[in-house]
Chain A
Amino acid sequence: MRNVYIIGAGIHPFGRTEGRSGRDQGVFAVRQAMTDSGLEWSDIECAYGGSAAAGNADIMVNELGLTGLPFINVSNGCATGGSALASARNAIAAGEFDVALAVGFDKHPRGAFNSKPAEYGLPEWYGETGMMLTTQFFALKIQRYMQLHGISRTTLGRVAEKAFRNGEKADHAWRRSQVDLDTILNSPMVNDPLTKYMFCSPAEGAVALILASEKKVKEFGSDAVKIASVAVRTRPAGSFEVFAPAIDIDNGGKPTVLASNAAFEAAGIGPEDIDVAQLQDTESGAEIMHMAENGFCKDGDQEQWLAEGRTEINGKLPVNTDGGCLACGEPIGASGLRQVYENTIQLRGRGGTRQVPGSPKTAYSHVYGAPGLSGVAILER
């Protein structure tokens, strides 16, 4: 397998952009990534991309140029962006192509996501009785976790407080003003113990990454970041996931643990070697649990980590340096690639006021979504 690098990164600001379709936001991100890499559209040899709710990606060639390149539409729920990245990286690693595009974009209606039971192989009564909500799953998972591992509501609040503090410093973030801890803790309850400010919202946005082989990096003289590993995994037996009328009594593994272990093994490093991390923070509790599921701390240690500020930008392990999903919102098809975009920015030292100090050398990203899948990417400078 050949080494693969990110040589260009582009983003359309997340949030709400009236009058611009999700796909047009994708085109915006691709053009920015091309400018960043110094390449022309005709230099791109293959492309992978998609959205969950804003249409097929391959139509973008109408705007970008009819060069005849193979353009694969990716439709993999919350892992759409991560799967596009994995596919583009594999195409280059295999030696089939030297320059590839991974793009993800989306545009969702306001309010919580709603899902059709039949699409998930579930009976209609499950939706009718009001149990098929993603927000409930996250509340139920963190509620139990808090009881078992001594995590306080204050710690949930601290995660959100950090997200908005970091989001204020990120040009592409949606929520760009700080919110104090009391306001977060006392905002309207969505699903106990999670309040309104502890949840991300469905949003809009797009991210594009241009990948290249080592040969092309040298040829172009790119400001490149190496993709050390990418792993996407689905749920193992006995895991507790979104939309589960029942859970196996033998509590089993987790897709995040599988993806994390695979990515670390392929990169040949461990959690202690990571300098900056972007972890799926659909809500505050998710970031806390994902810190442990990805191997960065033990269950329960998060209480102390948050109190001591260890996940702040200047902490031991900065987490969600652009404010994560909480500050950026969640356009499903773009969300996983935003994490990789932010890591690329950090490793190139272009983070401005949110730059992690000390020239970080390794960066970790983790996306999680329904119906139980995780994607991890590890970058190295």
Chain B
Amino acid sequence: MNQTLQPIAEDLWTNETEPRLIGARLPSGKVVFPMPTGDAARDVESYPLSRKGTLWSWTRQDFKPKEPYDGPEAFTPFLLGYVELPGELIVETRIVDAKLEDLKLGMPMEFIVAPFDERRATYAFRPEKQS
């Protein structure tokens, strides 16, 4: 990860060697993302999400979105989808280090912090590297 990039938002993922998305656990035990704000944040505890999951669905963004999209001026299509984190939730995410035709339902995915533009980073998942 490029350490000089600023996170796109504060407290979106943990500041550790292997960062994790910050979700929340409700009093009922249910895990949610993102962390609720305002009155909805009462009695909610921070809950770092799993770094590994499986691909639930995917698509490619082929046109430059209107505002509030704030990506690089020169648009490059990007992949995104949902990754199921076992026992937690199914999170929407950018997908990096893959091509559209590589993506398959249920394939193992892992969390990564990836460049968003020249100065900011966002979160993403990528196909898990086979060791």
| Interface of A toward B, CB cutoff 8 Å | 111-112, 114, 116-117, 123-133, 136, 139-141, 143-144, 147-148, 188-193, 244-249
The answer on a CB contact under 8 Å between B71 and A246 is: no
Check B67 against A141 for contact (C-beta < 8 Å). no
Size bin of chain B's contact surface? 35 or more
B69 close to A247 (CB less than 8 A): no
Shortest Cβ distance from A244 into B: residue: B92
Q: Are B56 and A245 in contact (CB under 8 A)?
A: no
Q: Is the CB of A130 within 8 A of B12?
A: no
Residues from chain A with a CB closer than 8 A to the CB of B9 are 123-125
Q: Which 9 pairs across A and B sit closest by C-beta, in order of nearness?
A: A127-B68, A144-B57, A139-B59, A114-B66, A125-B9, A246-B33, A128-B70, A247-B90, A147-B105
* Contact call A189/B62, Cβ cutoff below 8 A: yes
- Taking CB atoms, residues of chain A closer than 8 Å to B94 are 129, 131
Q: Which of A132, A141, A246 contacts B91 (CB 8 A)?
A: A246
Q: Does B88 interact with chain A (Cβ within 8 Å)?
A: yes
User: Is B80 touching A136 in the complex (CB atoms < 8 A)?
Assistant: yes
Contacts A112-B63, A143-B58 supplied; 8 other A-B pairs, CB < 8 Å: A112-B66, A125-B12, A130-B61, A133-B61, A188-B62, A245-B34, A246-B34, A248-B30
Q: In the complex, which of the residues B8, B32, B59 contacts A246, with contact meaning CB atoms closer than 8 Å?
A: B32
Of the A-B pairs whose beta carbons lie under 8 Å apart in the complex, a sample of 9, sorted by A's number, is: A114-B66, A130-B78, A140-B57, A144-B105, A147-B57, A191-B59, A191-B60, A193-B59, A249-B84
- Chain B: minimal CB distance from A338 (Å): 25
Interface positions of B (Cβ within 8 A of A): 8-9, 12, 23, 30-34, 37, 56-63, 65-71, 78, 80-82, 84-85, 87-92, 94, 100, 105, 116, 122
Most chain B beta-carbon contacts within 10 A, residue among A116, A132, A192:
A192
Contact A247 B89 (CB under 8 A): yes
Find the residue from B57, B66, B87 having the highest chain A CB count within 10 A: B57
A192–B59 CB distance below 8 A: yes
CA distance A193 to B78 in the complex (A): 14
Q: B62 contacts A190, CB within 8 Å? A: yes
A128-B92 CB under 8 A given contacts A136-B61, A140-B59: no
The CA-CA distance from A247 to B8 in the complex, in Å, is: 22
- A-B pairs with beta carbons under 8 A, tally: 110
With contacts A116-B68, A249-B90 known, is A190 near B57, CB below 8 A? no
What residues of B have a CB within 8 angstroms of the CB of A245 in the complex? 33-34, 91-92
- The one of A111, A116, A117, A191 in contact with B62, judged by C-beta atoms closer than 8 angstroms, is A191
The residue on B at minimum CB distance from A250 is B30
- List of A residues within 8 angstroms of B85 by Cβ: 249
Q: With a CB–CB cut-off of 8 A, which chain B residues contact A130? A: 61, 65, 69, 71, 78, 80
A246 to B69, Cβ gap below 8 A? no
A144: B residues at CB distance < 8 A: 56-57, 105
Q: CB within 8 A of A114: which of B63, B67, B89?
A: B67
| Chain B neighbourhood of A249, CB < 8 A | 31, 84-85, 87-90
Which A residues are CB-close (under 8 A) to B63? 112, 190
Most buried by A among B31, B65, B78, B116: B65
Measured CA separation A192–B95 after assembly (Å): 14
Residue among A112, A129, A144, A188 with the highest chain B CB neighbour number at 10 A:
A129
In the complex, which residue of chain A has the Cβ closest to the Cβ of B62?
A189
**Given A125-B8, A127-B69: A189 and B60 interface contact (C-beta under 8 Å):** yes
Q: Which residues from A are CB-within-8-Å of B81?
A: 140
- Report Cα–Cα, A139/B60, bound state, in Å: 9
